[in-house]
Structures are given as structure tokens and as C-alpha cells.
Amino acid sequence: MALSRLSLRSNRLLNPSTTTAALPSSLRRHVSTDTTPITIETAVPFESHLCDAPSRSVETSSSEILSFFRDMARMRRMEIAADSLYKSKLIRGFCHLYDGQEALAVGMEAAITRKDAIITSYRDHCTFLGRGGELVDAFSELMGRKRGCSNGKGGSMHFYKKDACFYGGHGIVGAQIPLGCGLAFAQKYSKEEFVTFTLYGDGAANQGQLFEALNIAALWDLPAILVCENNHYGMGTATWRSAKSPAYFKRGDYVPGLKVDGMDALAVKQACKFAKEHALKNGPIVLEMDTYRYHGHSMSDPGSTYRTRDEVSGVRQVRDPIERVRKLLLSHDIATEKELKDMEKEVRKEVDDAVAQAKESPVPEPSELFTNMYVKDCGVESFGADRKELKVTLA
Amino acid sequence: MAARIHGGAATALSTFNPKKLVAPSRTNLPAAARSSKRCIVAGGGSDASKKSLSVRHSQKLIANAAVATKAETSATTGTGHELLLFEALQEGLEEEMDRDPHVCVMGEDVGHYGGSYKVTKGLADKFGDLRVLDTPICENAFTGMGIGAAMTGLRPVIEGMNMGFLLLAFNQISNNCGMLHYTSGGQFTIPVVIRGPGGVGRQLGAEHSQRLESYFQSIPGIQMVACSTPYNAKGLMKAAIRSENPVILFEHVLLYNLKEKIPDEEYICNLEEAEMVRPGEHITILTYSRMRYHVMQAAKTLVNKGYDPEVIDIRSLKPFDLYTIGNSVKKTHRVLIVEECMRTGGIGASLTAAINENFHDYLDAPVMCLSSQDVPTPYAGTLEEWTVVQPAQIVTAVEQLCQ
């Protein structure tokens, strides 16, 4: 049944290419340096709740679209590499992959600054990369090495990057939503004009703490943007089996909402830009990103018991975010087939090098077991049972 | 601004041997792990010689296990002001909010109502709605919000109207508050203070008489302290707010109206130290929060009967101050723990294990632990009295141990 509903949706999205015609070669633009604005129409209109939807015409430039392509290709390659590393048992535990959803990460980054905060769930590898994280730090963390972004102590579900205002990386479904509202509160408290994007999934959308946090955010006018990454499956349960009202953008009730085609990086960019302006003036807004994940929920989930392979390949053929951007680049003569293929090869090499480097990096020292438990305090000191000898320094 | 160190600890000094304070050597962890001693909080091994009680260092605030007896404090300072415990908490909170604009308070009815136990009375008028926030009733969300705000550098003081309600925020406290510093590899600190009244009150019913210290004690990454007098309430509140670590401050419903004279000067209490309430020779009685008063009442009877109990208010529930406790055990060789937690899995249970592990050779008798009964607290007054430890039971236990 999910298949028929999804194919209904995908039928509507059958032609993702733009409505503007290809340019003649005399006006062909250069590959990566052009910042002349181009306007692209999104394929799918926005659906709104309690607000006016933004325009479908997105301002962008050829360099931006090219950067989308490169960044998404890098994210895709990283996730595929993580898949094979997991299968060769170099990554253990839980590994939740984001391939298929890359447009969300890059589109959001294009609309905001590194001072705006992002907090997300455990499907955080690509969001980390989008915030400026290094590939080698990501792979090292996945493989539990010291070089990792959390010193090897967090793992796949706990990537953080404080200097880029990326607050993780959280394992418990929905627990990051109140945290995100806290980040927004701190932004309001410090009177800086920044916003917080709190990402959660369609599964987490049924958590009570979401509605508690929404209430507080709306009551106190916090600059919080709650983004529901609706990939239609909460682990193995389709949205129609878990939510009485699967219109997640309307679930905010008194909070305005917007439904966005999450596989279209430009639509995501437009929506995030709109949401940021809204949040700074009027308080919280809910964005529902209609997206899809190709892998199962995690590496221990084949992803085929609750959906058919045809559905997955169907979405891949029709809605793949990277393919859309490729078509855009080709139709606007921003790059040639060969240039794009070369770019993909470069990205592949980048990822392979990062994996190799991460494989070489050392595991944490045993003493690291006790570091970062506590913060060394305001000069107040305490000792263990015997003050002569320091048993361990809890840093 | 240097705070005056409280040298009221004349008696604490007697157990404090400066000669022992050689610069601690940093042993490697593997060696320590092999010796399977309990690894407890340790300092960074800086100048031990600096650890003199009257040092006034503008950066380093050396606090002291202050002995909060009335005679001591008024003797040292000469002046001082008398107030109730909830006022002491309020004073501490207000001073910290004045001192640091990042400190804010959030909780149910803390703002306009002034706090259900008046701890935050007047603060909303003084600091405004953005710093003293009235939250809706959603413990999970506002505790999470406080933690999220702390990740960016704010210092929220989160109030649970009753500690029992914080069970709804257990996920946030355990997973986010306790663990984020560790799982982010030290990138984020969570300088929150989670406070509220707990413990068995006067016929408040089972759900409002919970002792959450036993549930929270295993969470790695948090610190827990319990205040028992106006002096240590103010000191611990200030220390907890200044601490970069998440601290859970346990207050007790029945202790809010205790009156005591506290110093006028600024002071803070060490979060990790226990308080010597009454030095003695025959037996060490370890207690905290309300049970301290039951123990002191029993101590009067015991003194009349010729015993000399040493009473220590452990104050720091996580980590335990095994130094003070250890010195006491080495002196008296008998230990009685009196607590309000349940028998099963309470603070007393952990403390018994810690003492047995570390000081087994010094004990002449098994460690005895008096705890509340493993039952939900009944409403009927007489039954409620029987769930908690009463002074008569403490006297009997001491007599038994000292045979």
C-alpha cells in the first residue's frame, strides 16, 4: 500500500527538470566561478499552513549549483564508503545512512550561516559534513579512532562540531527537539539574530516532547525552525501506519508550517531562507521535507522487508537529488557530462583517501576512558580516598 | 572578586594534615585500574602548598568543608544575618544571577508566583521574564531546553517543583545532561543546576515523597549534592552554579524553614566535601539531608548514655568524599549510615560498598545501614513515620554496633 501511495506521489514528481530552456553555446557560462544569478523554478509547489508559501522561483548561481553537486556527491560517496566499512566490520554498532536525503543538508547550508545552529538525530554524518566537517574526522569517528570528531568516544550517532554550531548527533528519538529549543532560547537570550534548525524524523514526530517544545517555542517566540525529515518510514513502520495525521507540517497546529520537496536542493534552500526570516520575526515554524532514504533505517536493517525494491529504485530513478542537479547543470550548460564525471571521480578519490587515512589513525589511549567526564572546576579541588596519590584525573 | 574563605572549620582542621599534601603524583591509569580501587574524583594536582585555608586568590576559589555550627560562624565573623533555608537558597541564587548574566532560572511557577517553596521569590521582578522563566508543565521539554541552552554557554538553574517530577525528564538528565560532555569529546560543557525538593514530607502521598538520589546516582557525568542547613544550602547553590559540570542539588521539603545565622560575606562550599557535624571517638555516623537532624537528636540521647558518636553530613552524594569518611573510619572503626533512601539501591547501599571496598581493614564491625523501608510512602501519618528512620532506631543501632 505504501508503494501505491508513494508511486502516486512520484507520478506527480515524474519530471523534475526545470522549465527554463537550455542556453545556446555562445552564452555558455564558465564551470565553477560564475556567481551571476540564475533563477530556477522548483518542480513542486510548496504547501503551506498558516502562512504564505514562498515563491517557487529560487535565486541561485552556477557556482552554487555546482557546489551542490560536489557536496552531494561527496556525501553520497561517504555514505557508500561507510556501508562497505560497516560490512567489513570496521564500523560497529549502529550506523544510520543518509544517502538519498543529501539535498536537505546542502540546501539548508546554502540558506544559512555557520552561526545558525543545527541539531539533528542520529542520521548525522552528512549534516556534519555540510557544517564543514572533514571526511577524515567523520571516518575516524565511525571507526572509533582518536582523530574522530568526538575523539572516538561518540560514534556514528554522536558527531558534533562546536565551532560550526553543529550540536549533534543524538541517539534517543526526539530528545534533540527540546535541546534545539534550548539552543533557540539561548540565541534569543543573547539577542543575536541567529536561528536554530532542529531536525527530526517522521517517527519522532509522534513524540510528546515535540509538542511540549513547540508550545514553549511558540509561547516565548523562540527563533526555532523544526524540520521534519519525512522519509516515510519510522524504522520499519510506514507513516500511514504510525501517524493519524501524516501532514507533519500541519501538526504544529498554531505554529505555521511548510511542506517542501526535500529531494530538490533548491526548494530546500528557498524554504530554509524563508523559514529563517520567519523565525526571526514571528517565532517558530515547522518545515516538512518530503525526502527518502535508499538504505534501510540502519545497517542492520535491509530496508526491503517493509518496502519493495521497485519502490526504492523508482525513487532513485525519478527523484534522486544528485541526478536532478546534474540535469540542471547540463541543461543550463554550466558543465559538461565529462566535467561532472571528472568531479565525481575526484570526490571518490577524496573519500577513498580519507578512508585510508582514517584507517591508519590510532585508537584512543586507555586513559581516555576517564577524560571528559567532568570539567576541572573553579579551583575547588577534591581527592580520592588517599590524598597522597592521584588515582585518576577526571579531566 | 575574591570570596572570603570560611575558616570556621577549626574541628575540620584537626583531621586535616597539611603534611599529607605532597604534590600528588600522576599515576598511570592502567596501574590504578589493576589495583581495582574505586576511582573517584581527583583534582589536577596543582600546588598542594597553596592549599592553605586563608589564601585569598582572585582566580582560585578555595572553598572549605565548612563546619556550619552556629557558634563557629558567628565567632569568626562577629556579624551575620539570620534567615530560613529557602531564603538562603534565594540569596545564593540572587547573588549568582547578579554576578553572571548567563545565569537564568527555569521551572514551573518560579517567576510570577515566586516559586512553590518561595526559593525564587522576587527574582522575576528583579531580573525580568527572560531570566526567570515560567515554563508550562513539561519537565522533559524544559529540562531538555535548559540543557540545550547550557550547550551554548548559558547557565540555567532548572527547578523541578518536586524532584519526583524529574522522572519525566530522566532521559534528558541521563543521556543529554550527563553524557554530552563525554560523547562530544569535551566540546560541550553542560553547566546546569537541577534542583528541587524531594524526600518524605508530611503526608504528601507516595508520588510526592520520592528520593530521586538513588535513581540518579549511576548516571555518569553528573554531580549530586544534598543541602541540609541554610549555611550549606547557600554555599552549595553558589558552587553548583559556578561549576562547569551538571550538578543536581537535592533539597528537602521539610527543611525549608530551618533558621540559622549565616555570614554576611560571600562564601561557597566545596561540592565534593563532606561536613563534620560533630566529632567523636566511638562510631562514625554518616548521613545527609533531613536524616542529619534525626541523627543529631539521637546523638543527644547517645551522649547521655555515654557514647561519643562522630556525625558526618556527607553532603556530596556523587562523588562521595571518601577522604573525610575514611579518616573518620580509621579513627572510630565503626560505621552507621542513616539515610532516607530506600533500602534497595540507595545512596546507603553504594556508600556501604565503597566503605567496605576501601576501608575494610579498619572496620571492627560490619557497616550498618539504616534506610527507609522499600515501600511507597503511605499517606497515614503513623505509617509514614514508620517508613523513615527515627531517632530511637538510630540509638538502638549504635548500641548494637558498639557492643
pLDDT at A31: 55
Task: Find out whether the peptide bond into B319 is cis, omega within 30 degrees of 0.
Answer: yes
Nearest chain A residue to B222 by CA: give it.
A374
How many Å separate Cα A107 from the centre of its chain? 9
- C-alpha closest to that of B186 among A160, A221, A388, A107: A160
pLDDT in 10s for each residue of chain A, 395 residues: 444 444 444 443 334 444 444 445 444 445 556 788 889 999 999 999 999 999 999 999 999 999 999 999 999 999 999 999 999 999 999 999 999 999 999 999 999 999 999 999 999 999 999 999 999 999 999 999 999 999 999 999 999 999 999 998 999 999 999 999 999 999 999 998 999 999 999 999 999 999 999 999 999 999 999 999 999 999 889 999 999 999 999 999 999 999 999 999 999 999 999 999 999 999 999 999 999 999 999 998 988 899 999 999 999 999 999 999 999 999 999 999 999 999 999 999 999 999 999 999 999 988 888 888 888 754 444 444 444 444 444 43
A186·B144 Cβ contact <8 A: no
pLDDT at A372: 84
> What mean pLDDT is predicted for residues B218-234?
94
Interface of B with A in 291-330 (CB under 8 A): 319, 321-323, 326
Tell me, yes or no, if B185 comes closer than 8 A to chain A by beta carbon.
yes
Answer whether B206's CB lies under 8 Å from B387's CB.
no
pLDDT at B79: 82
Catalytic residue, candidates B72, B87, B96, B208: B208
Answer whether A379's CB lies under 8 Å from B60's CB.
yes
| Percent of all residues in chain B with a pLDDT value above 70, rounded to a whole number | 81
Per-residue pLDDT at B62 exceeds 50: no
Answer whether A203's CB lies under 8 Å from A235's CB.
yes
Tell me, yes or no, if A191 comes closer than 8 A to chain B by beta carbon.
no
**To which CATH superfamily is domain A37-364 assigned?**
Thiamin diphosphate (ThDP)-binding fold, Pyr/PP domains (3.40.50.970)
pLDDT at A101: 96
Nearest chain A residue to B40 by CA: give it.
A384
Cβ contacts of B101 within 8 Å, gap of 6 or more? none
pLDDT at B7: 35
pLDDT tens-digit readout, B5-58? 333 333 333 343 434 333 333 333 333 333 333 333 333 333 333 333 333 333
CB neighbours of residue A253 within 10 Å? 13
Q: Nearest CA to CA, how far is A263 from chain B (Å)?
A: 29
Extract long-range pairs of A215-220: CB within 8 Å, 24+ residues apart.
A215/B136, A215/B138, A215/B141, A216/A181, A216/B135, A216/B136, A216/B138, A216/B141, A216/B142, A216/B145, A217/A181, A217/A184, A217/A255, A217/A283, A217/A284, A218/A252, A218/A254, A218/A255, A218/A283, A218/A284, A219/B136, A220/A185, A220/A188, A220/B133
Q: Tell me, yes or no, if B139 is annotated catalytic.
A: yes
Sort out which chain B residues have CB atoms less than 8 A from A160's CB and list them. Answer: 183-185, 187-188
Sort out which chain A residues have CB atoms less than 8 A from B193's CB and list them. Answer: none
Write down the ipTM of this complex: 0.81
pLDDT at A244: 94
Q: Which of A162, A367, A374 sits opposite B41 (nearest CB)?
A: A374
Write a three-state SS string for chain B.
CCCCCCCCCHHHHHCCCHHHCCCCEECCHHHHHHCCCCCCCCCCCCCHHHCCCCCCCCCCCCCECCCCCHHHHHHHHCCCEEEEHHHHHHHHHHHHHHHCCCEEEEECCCCCCCCCCCCCCCHHHHHCCCCEEECCCCHHHHHHHHHHHHHCCCEEEEECCCHHHHHHHHHHHHHHHHCHHHHCCCCCCCCCEEEEEECCCCCCCHHHCCCCHHHHCCCCCCEEEECCCHHHHHHHHHHHHHCCCCEEEEEEHHHCCCEEEECCCCCCECCCCCEEEECCCCEEEEECCCHHHHHHHHHHHHHHCCCCEEEEECCEEECCCHHHHHHHHHHHCCEEEEEEEECCCCHHHHHHHHHHHHHHHHCCCCCEEEEECCCCCCCCHHHHHHHCCCHHHHHHHHHHHCC
A179·B145 Cβ contact <8 A: yes
pLDDT tens-digit readout, A76-123? 999 999 999 999 999 999 999 999 999 999 999 999 999 999 999 999
CA–CA gap between residue A49 and residue B19 (Å, rounded): 72
Q: Is A21 exposed, middle or buried (0-12, 13-18, 19+ CB in 10 A)?
A: exposed
B187·A178 Cβ contact <8 A: no
A181·B145 Cβ contact <8 A: yes
**Domains along chain B with CATH numbers:** 81-263 (3.40.50.970), 275-402 (3.40.50.920)
B154·A186 Cβ contact <8 A: yes
CA–CA gap between residue B59 and residue B76 (Å, rounded): 24
Q: Tell me, yes or no, if B213 is annotated catalytic.
A: no
CA–CA gap between residue B346 and residue B387 (Å, rounded): 14
Q: Which of B142, B171, B358 sits opposite A385 (nearest CB)?
A: B358
Answer whether B345's CB lies under 8 Å from B319's CB.
no
Catalytic residue, candidates B96, B139, B272, B339: B139
Residues A353-370: b if buried by 16+ CB within 10 A, e if exposed: ebbebbeebeebeebbeb
CA–CA gap between residue B399 and residue B150 (Å, rounded): 49
For an interface test with B, the pick among A374, A386, A389, A394 (most B C-beta atoms closer than 10 Å) comes out as: A374
Q: Nearest CA to CA, how far is A391 from chain B (Å)?
A: 6
Q: Is A83 exposed, middle or buried (0-12, 13-18, 19+ CB in 10 A)?
A: middle
pLDDT tens-digit readout, A340-369? 999 999 999 999 999 999 999 999 988 888
A306: DSSP letter: S
Q: Nearest CA to CA, how far is A173 from chain B (Å)?
A: 11
Sort out which chain A residues have CB atoms less than 8 A from B66's CB and list them. Answer: none
Interface contacts A/B by beta carbons within 8 Å? 252
B192 CB-side CA count, 13 A: 36
Mapping DSSP to helix (H, G, I), strand (E, B) and coil, where does residue A216 land?
helix
Per-residue pLDDT at B220 exceeds 50: yes
Interface of A with B in 57-116 (CB under 8 A): none
Per-residue pLDDT at B104 exceeds 70: yes
Instruction: Give the residues across from B249 on adjacent strands.
Output: B195, B225
Per-residue pLDDT at B94 exceeds 70: yes
Q: Where are the domains of chain A?
A: 37-364, 366-394
Q: Nearest CA to CA, how far is A243 from chain B (Å)?
A: 21
pLDDT at B252: 96
- Does residue A379 come out as left (phi exceeding 0), alpha (psi in the -120 to 50 range) or beta? left
Q: Which amino acid is at B111?
A: G
Interface of A with B in 125-144 (CB under 8 A): none
Q: Nearest CA to CA, how far is A208 from chain B (Å)?
A: 9
CA–CA gap between residue B132 and residue A18 (Å, rounded): 51
pLDDT at B78: 61
Q: Nearest CA to CA, how far is A160 from chain B (Å)?
A: 6
Q: Which amino acid is at A7?
A: S
What's the whole-model pTM score?
Answer: 0.81
Tell me, yes or no, if B360 comes closer than 8 A to chain A by beta carbon.
no
Q: Note the maximum CA span of chain B.
A: 60
Tell me, yes or no, if B220 comes closer than 8 A to chain A by beta carbon.
yes
Tell me, yes or no, if A246 comes closer than 8 A to chain B by beta carbon.
no
A373·B220 Cβ contact <8 A: yes
